[in-house]
Structure 1
Amino acid sequence: MQLINNKKPSKNKVNITQLLTVATCTLLGTSAQAEEEKSWEFDTALMYYGETDRVQATELILAGTKTFEDEKTLNLKLTVDALTGASANGAVAQPNVQTFTRPSGKESFNTPANETPLDDTFRDTRLQFNAQWTQPFAEDYRISGGLHLSKEYDYLSVGLNANIARDFNQKNTTLSAGVAYSNDTITPEGDIPTAFAEMVPPGNELNRSGTEDDKTTVDLLLGVTQVIDRQTIMQFNYSYSQVDGYLTDPFKVVSLVNSNGMSEKQLYENRPDKRVKNSIFWQTKHHFLSNSIIDFSYRYFWDDWEITSHTVDARYRIPLGDSYIEPHIRYYTQDAAEFYQPFQLSSNPLPSYMSADYRLGKMDGITVGVKYGMPMKNNTELSFRLEFFQQSSKSTGVEEPGVLNEVDLYPSINAVVAQVSYSF
């Protein structure tokens, strides 16, 4: 589970896959709503995510659902994130102390010998608001539309989405199609670095290409949800995404090293300005006669950066009287992007694109955890979740010269996730 582990994780966009889960929730009784019930329902959560010696995040979520007459619903969600800690800048570890310039260009920081360079001034707060309206359109049809707004210190994302669903086979089969569009603007501290420009000491003139840049994202989704029997439901989705614009991380560098593996300088990375992503998703939920529920899913992802990934996720809800316990395990594996390299030899010509960001590298990740939920008064519920996450980066087969054989170029990341939720 790759949650929040860097200055610029993937931006939160409206997940139009979620628009297809209504039938699943209804069958399993997790969010059934009687037609005559018109009051608001709320879900609140407070989550903590912490990496060892790296990023720490606290997230507060407030979501509300209002059901009107004629099966019309309004969903509102407010998310507030506070992130602090240290973030890897992409440079390689060295057997000596290294000095790096902070993004502002006004200060520097030192990294001890044999340690991965981490910028410890990582601070950010994100405020995100989502709204979604769903209603019947005609017999056996439902339409949905929504918007999202996300704002950080140096990042603004605005988006819209729309979805249409058609029921067949006495509402046992649902076909769905959705589209989402977002426009993101980044205004990083210290402005936009010129591709492959050298990181210079504080006080020197920075080589910058502008104060801000943007990107646009178009997501398309096709899905089918099928009721297999009274206890089982399946879902299949195909999603396509095209991203255009500024996709480089302005805070990442690549170390230029000599034949002995010693770092000579740091160059700002450069990524393509277009990315096409595809994925297929399969999910099955089965409600056993013992009232336990298994939820299993698999996702295969590929893109034109030559990244491929596999994700397997399984949850098993076990009733304990009126309460329940839900063990969870998730496994993720990823191949590296074609332009990923942990360092660049100074004797080789610079490629067109290059990044040492470990998120684009080869890796495995595993999450194990458990959730405990218990009913409260007036049909409310209180739940607790605790999970442990480990991400292991791997070598892509690049030969490591000289001193780079003596340092850890692919450090693992360990994290803990704790969450408390209350529904009323």
Structure 2
Amino acid sequence: MTKKITQQLALATCSLLASSANAAEDWSVDGSYLSYVEANDRVSVSKTLANFERTLIDGKLSIGVVHDTMSGASPSGAIRSDDSLITFTSPSGSGGFTANGTGDDALIPFTDTRVQFGATREQQLTRVWQVSYGGVFSSENDYESFGTTVGIKREADNKLSSVNAGLAFTTDTIYRGDNNDTPGPLSNISSGEAFGRGKRNTYDALLGYTRVLNRTTIAQVNASVGLSEGYHTDPYKIISAADENDRIIANYYESRPDSRLRTALFGKVVHELANSDHSINLSYRLYQDDWGIQSHTLDTRYHHTLTDRQYLEPHLRFYHQSAADFYARKLDVDEALNPLLPDSGVVSADYRLDELTSVTAGIKYGFKISPDLDLRLRAEYLQQLYSESDFDTNEATIVQSSLRYTF
């Protein structure tokens, strides 16, 4: 019973690692396809991934490959206005277009492709000590990223608790796909001012503790801190300077701070119901950063065993975040219609930095087709409500199918 809920908890971040007691060297491949589609012809994402895992005598080796295609229309940051004639630059370097008075002028089309490769090695050093290390590379039309991780775990002698710690480093390169550059911060989009590629380095650290509380309950808590330095601005996002009637006077590229300090506290409990194979999975995450964003995430899952080969897992997630200190729907203008740029030099109308409340509801079905083959199907509905953004609502459907084969 304890082993069963431990396996469920392993799905969480920095979870208990799989036992190396099984010395058989087996391969498994876990393939998955995910479709994410927003309403009103907004963003669509198709994700295909494959994870290859090799069970070794002293641990395991995991190799992952991901391919994403993204398309649709995304808010640029410009306000909706029926009294403007503006040329926008599309995300991912797909060029510009002129829009006037359609009510959706601030939605700009884009297409993008992402490929990611990663590998992780988990190694049992002694009966109670385990290390892990890995790397990942990701490339898009206008973004490149390389990251490394290293972690260590110490189990108690009785195997009822463990402490784990981890470090990660990521370096990113950001640029506009067509021009291979980044726009000048808070520059008028008609000026053509541009700089070279943006660089950003991110450092993360995590400390976690997991404990079996009793035969039916296991709990986990971890704390993390991250610091990123360098280019944080989205090179495609703009902000409008407009009068009190929302008549656009000019558009400027956004500008964000050149560093970000993030902290998070995460807790999770998995409890197996008495005299059953059903379990409840409940987690909470508190996040805050020095941009003024604080978020709360509450996630719950109910694992309902149908038969010894099938299960259902309803899922409900609630998320709320405050707006960034430098978020603004638009820039004001003075009586002479001159734009009033912020003294701080940072401002963004990116809706993702607005105050947000989000609810996700869905269900997953699992079926063990054979001892070596598992099928998983998942469907979810997402609703987002923003406070100030012109695009104050967003809805999306998520469908995923996964197949795991051991050989």
Q: TM-score, structure 1 length as denominator?
A: 0.86
Contact 1:105/1:206, CA 8 A, preserved across alignment: no
Q: Deviations over 1:108-162 (max 9, x none)?
A: 2315433361111x11111111111111223411111100010111111011110
* Structure 2 unaligned spans of 5+: 1-9, 335-339
SS of structure 1 residue aligned to 2:361? strand
Work out the CA distance in 1 between the residues paired with 2:80 and 2:143: 29
Structure 2 residue corresponding to 1:235, chosen from 213, 220, 226: 220
Q: How does 1:145-224 map to 2 (within 5 A)?
A: 145-189=133-177, 190=179, 191-200=181-190, 206-210=192-196, 212-224=197-209
Q: How far does residue 258 in structure 1 lie from its aligned partner after superposition?
A: 1.7
Kept in 2, the 8 Å contact 1:252–1:269? The answer is: yes
Q: Residue 18 and residue 297 in structure 1: after superposition, are their counterparts in 2 closer, same or farther (change >3 A)?
A: closer
Looking at structure 1, the residues matched to 252 and 81 of structure 2 have their Cα atoms a distance apart, in angstroms, of 16
* C-alpha contact 2:84 2:248 (8 A) present in aligned 1: no
- Residue 115 of structure 1 is matched in structure 2 by 104
2:131 to 137, 143, 162: 143
Superposed, 1:248-259 pairs within 5 Å as 248-259=233-244
Compared with structure 1, are the counterparts of its residues 17 and 268 closer, same or farther at alpha carbon in structure 2 (3 Å cutoff)? Answer: farther
Instruction: Give the Cα separation in 2 of the matches to 1:116 and 1:109.
Output: 9
Residue 41 of structure 1, aligned match among 21, 25, 28:
28
Report the counterpart of residue 354 of structure 1 in structure 2.
347
- Corresponding residue for 2:82? 95
CA distances 1:38-90 after superposition (whole Å, capped 9, x unpaired)? 21122111000011121100001101211111x32111111111111111100
CA–CA separation in structure 1 for the residues paired with 2:271 and 2:11: 19
1:10: which partner in 2? none
**2:268 is aligned with what amino acid?**
Q
- Closer/same/farther in 2, CA of residues 116 and 21 from structure 1, 3 Å limit: farther
CA deviations on 1:220-279 (whole Å, 9 max, x unpaired) are: 000001111122111101000000000000000011012333110101000000000000
Distance 1:417 1:181 in 2: 30
CA 1:354–1:119: 2 relative to 1, 3 Å: same
Q: Which amino acid aligns with 1:280?
A: L
Higher alpha-carbon deviation: 296-305 or 347-356: 347-356
3-state DSSP class of the match of 2:305? strand
- Return the match for 1:334 from 321, 343, 352: 321
| Cα distance in 2, alignment partners of residues 39 and 261 from structure 1 | 63
SS in 1 for 2:187: coil
State the 1:410 CA deviation: 4.2
Residues 55-66 of structure 1 aligned to structure 2 (within 5 Å):
55-66=43-54
Note if contact 1:19-1:163 (Cα within 8 Å) is conserved in structure 2.
Answer: no
Contact between 2:75 and 2:391, CA under 8 Å: does it hold in 1? Answer: no
Which deviates the most, 258-267 or 217-226? 258-267
Distance in 1 between residues matched to 2:376 and 2:94, nearest whole Å: 45
- In structure 1, the residue matched to 2:390 is 409
Q: Secondary structure at the match of 1:359?
A: helix
**Which of 58, 75, 79 is equivalent to 2:66?**
79
C-alpha separation in 2, matches of 1:349 and 1:163: 45
When residues 180 and 111 of structure 1 are mapped into structure 2, their CA distance, relative to the original with a 3 A threshold, is farther
Q: Which moved more, 1:74-83 or 1:345-354?
A: 345-354
Name 2:302's counterpart in structure 1: 316
Could you list the runs of 5+ residues in structure 1 that have no partner in the other structure? Answer: 1-15, 27-31, 396-407
Work out the CA distance in 2 between the residues paired with 1:367 and 1:106.
34
Cα distance change of structure 1 residues 234 and 17 upon mapping to structure 2, 3 Å threshold: same
Instruction: Give the Cα–Cα distance (whole angstroms) in 1 for the partners of residues 13 and 356 of structure 2.
Output: 30
Alpha-carbon distance in 2 for matches of 1:362, 1:62? 35
Q: Output the CA distance in 2 between the equivalents of 1:214 and 1:67.
A: 37
Is the CA contact (8 Å cut-off) linking 2:83 and 2:248 kept in structure 1? no
1:163-187 deviation line (CA, Å, top 9, x unaligned): 0111115111101110000111112
8 A Cα contact 1:391 1:414, kept in partner = yes
After TM superposition, give the deviation of residue 107 of structure 1 in Å: 3.5
CA contact (8 A) 1:186 1:214 kept: yes
Are the structure 2 counterparts of residues 218 and 17 from structure 1 closer, same or farther at C-alpha, using a change threshold of 3 Å? farther
Determine helix, strand or coil for the equivalent of 2:147. Answer: strand
In structure 2, relative to structure 1, the CA distance for the partners of 1:176 and 1:50 (3 Å cut) is: same
CA distance in 2, matches of 1:169, 1:298: 29
| Residue in structure 2 matched with residue 12 of structure 1 by the alignment | none
Contact 2:79 2:246 in 1 (8 A): no
Quick check: 1:98–1:113 contact (8 Å CA) kept in 2? no
Change (3 A) 1:165 1:217: same
* Letter of the structure 2 residue corresponding to residue 342 of structure 1: R
